[in-house]
Amino acid sequence: MIRDFFKHNWLKYLVGALFLISVDILMLVTPRVMGRIVDELRSGVQDMDFVGLLILAVIGVAFGLFITRLFWRVFIMGAARRFEYYSRRTLFEKLLNLPPTFYDKTRVGDLMARFTNDVNAVRMAMGPAIVMTIDGLFLITVTIVAMGSFTSWNLTWIAITPFPALAIVSTFFGRIIHKRFKSVQASFSDLTDTVEESISGIRLIKSYGIEDLRKGTLVDKSDNYVDENMKLVRIWGMFFPLIQTLSMLGSVLATLFGGRMVILGQLTLGEYVTFTAYLGMLIWPMTAFGWVINIIQRGRASYKRLTEVLEEDSNILVENPVKIEDFKGHIAMKNLTFTYPTGSHPILEEIDFEVQPGSKVAIVGTTGSGKSTIAKLIARLYPIQEGRLFIDGYDINRIEPSMMRENVAYVPQETFLFSETVRNNIRFGDMSIPDQDVEKYAMIAAIHEDILGFPKAYETLVGERGVTLSGGQKQRIAIARALIKEASIIVLDDCLSAVDTETEAKILNSLRNSGRMRSIVVISHRLKAVVDADMIYVMHDGRVVESGRHLELVENGGLYQRMYERQMLEEKLRGE
């Protein structure tokens, strides 16, 4: 990521570095001029015009410093801000392309921490750290040369004797800072994840009355975050004063030996003033060296956390890709056995399953039998072995995931709505869809009348995740959103559980009679809604134990008959 960014922005850093070096060169002029003024005044002013010219030179240098400092900030700090934008955009694009298996094992709070703290830490390394590194190295080099050339090389070597110790201390503490900052960021991820979960589940927390329990959890996470920070602060608190001490040691040596050289006449007072001014200029880069080590080590730790995400590979691969010009909607599973990448045992075993183009197929069965897994595999959300699932006669492994998503309308069990208007939630993904189409599919999903009853009808803003709507309303809006894609395959994964049986049947009938040939796969716990299906597959413990039409299955006396009779009895009892 950094390499690609530098490839397109190296010129900005180069121009900024040139302005930064110009600042350092201008700063070297002032001590030299001030030394000349001191010597002129000490020896008696011979030429006031010359002294006035020296004073004007100091003023000119000050103005030059203003201009050059302005431009290095614009170029270097501006580039760092561009990197912040670039890194967040790159990270977000990567997250959009990662498969569900990544999110099965990664917490939202951890990703948010990488988006915020980690990106900011890397941005500091790409901005202030680069400034201080260039400034420090150049200023130290030219200042030492100026000190030796304009005053005394002997005194210069004495003044910089603490430098080797400075390098050793910085290397030692830098490694510790890197390790401890990684722990700080990991702790911050835990804290962020706890806060995100608590806010998202605040209604559940209140309904169970466990506010104190969640507060205790947050306190524990916060305490851990503080503890990790204090470990870092203790190292940083020791490191920075030690750097300052070593820096000031050079000033002590310069005063001790330089003062003696002035007394002995080996240096003029003006030369000593020049030397001390230059030495004062060395104090900042030597001190800043500690800041640079700290910022760079923090940036390295955070950059490693970012690259962990960027280096994640998708496990949904496409070999010998094919392009299907016209999806018919034929689905076939042949002896399919499937285990989730994060699982240890098969969820589906030896599944044989077929959906003819334009037909309605239902999948029913016991809880946890693998019905939703079949829906996810059809939507190409998880990788499967070759030769087990075919779409229009092609192995699904040869079809690009993007092509599958364009031609499969998948409505999962968990409905997610965005904090947007009802209209924009329905035409999510393509805001150019005309309003009449939005309303058309809202009617098919049996939500149109409900929407007209909202305060602003289709322009009503729903709360976060659709919290202001009922469960049934959210499900029907999600169905309308899927249908508006005009996909050849529709997969409804028990997404009508919050509506009554009559409404569910009405929606499913509307789908079949909407004027477009679609292959419809319905997963439902309510058998009354799927009695008109062309084929019903009954699942138990990851296997298809029965298949056929409704009347055939009822007459077979198997699992389907027992489930159907139980549901009919429950309905009769509720009616009494």
Q: How many CA atoms lie less than 13 Å away from 233 in the CB half-sphere?
A: 6
Assigned token pair, 446: 């049996």
Residue closest to 80 by CA, chosen among 125, 18, 17? 125
The pLDDT of residue 61 is 73
pTM: 0.67
262 CA to centre of own chain: 61
CB 109 within 8 A of CB 192: yes
Residue closest to 142 by CA, chosen among 287, 280, 278, 290? 278
Exposure string of 6-30, with b = 16+ CB inside 10 Å and e = fewer, is: eeebeebbebbbebbbbbbebbbbb
Residue closest to 351 by CA, chosen among 325, 323, 384, 322? 384
Cα dist. 573→168, 527, 566, 576 in Å? 82, 17, 11, 5
| Helix, strand, coil in percent for the chain, rounding step 5 | 65, 10, 25
332 phi/psi in degrees, rounded to 5: -145, 130
The pLDDT of residue 36 is 63
Per-10-residue mean pLDDT of the chain, 576 residues long, equals: 75 80 73 63 59 68 78 81 84 82 77 81 80 75 74 74 74 76 81 78 71 82 87 79 74 72 70 70 67 76 82 77 80 86 81 85 85 85 83 84 81 79 80 81 82 83 73 81 80 74 70 69 81 86 86 83 81 62
15 phi/psi in degrees, rounded to 5: -65, -40
The pLDDT of residue 576 is 47
Exposure string of 374-406, with b = 16+ CB inside 10 Å and e = fewer, is: bbbbbbbbbbbeeebbbbbebbbbbbebebbbe
495 phi/psi in degrees, rounded to 5: -90, 10
The pLDDT of residue 37 is 62
Q: Let me know if 512 is exposed, middle or buried by CB neighbors in 10 A (0-12, 13-18, 19+).
A: middle
Helix residue ranges, H only, 269-335: 269-310
3-state SS class at 498: coil
C-alpha span between 282 and 452 (Å, rounded): 73
Taking each continuous run of H as one helix and of E as one strand, the counts in the chain are 21, 10
What domains are there in the chain, each with its CATH number?
A: 2-310 (1.20.1560.10), 331-414+488-575 (3.40.50.300)
CB 517 within 8 A of CB 497: no
Task: Give the list of residues 6+ apart from residue 262 with CB closer than 8 angstroms, or none.
Answer: 268, 269, 272
Sign for the CA dihedral angle at 458, 460, 462, 466 comes to negative
C-alpha span between 330 and 413 (Å, rounded): 23
Look up residue 459 and give its DSSP letter: G
The pLDDT of residue 176 is 80
Residue type at position 301: A
Q: What is the 3-state secondary structure (H, E, C) of 355-420?
A: ECCCCEEEEEECCCCCHHHHHHHHCCCCCCCCCCEEECCEEHHHCCHHHHHHHEEEECCCCCCCCC
CB 139 within 8 A of CB 326: no
DSSP per-residue string spanning 514-567: SSS--EEEEE-S-GGGGTT-SEEEEEETTEEEEEE-HHHHHHHTSHHHHHHHHH
Task: Give the list of residues 6+ apart from residue 290 with CB closer than 8 angstroms, or none.
Answer: 170, 239, 240, 243, 244
C-alpha span between 496 and 508 (Å, rounded): 10
Q: What is the dihedral of CA 214, 220, 222, 227, to 10 degrees?
A: 180
C-alpha span between 537 and 364 (Å, rounded): 6
Q: What is the dihedral of CA 278, 290, 127, 134, to 10 degrees?
A: 40
DSSP per-residue string spanning 69-105: HHHHIIIIIHHHHHHHHHHHHHHHHHHHHS-HHHHHH
- Residue showing tokens 């001014």: 277
Assigned token pair, 203: 């209604």
Look up residue 169 and give its DSSP letter: H
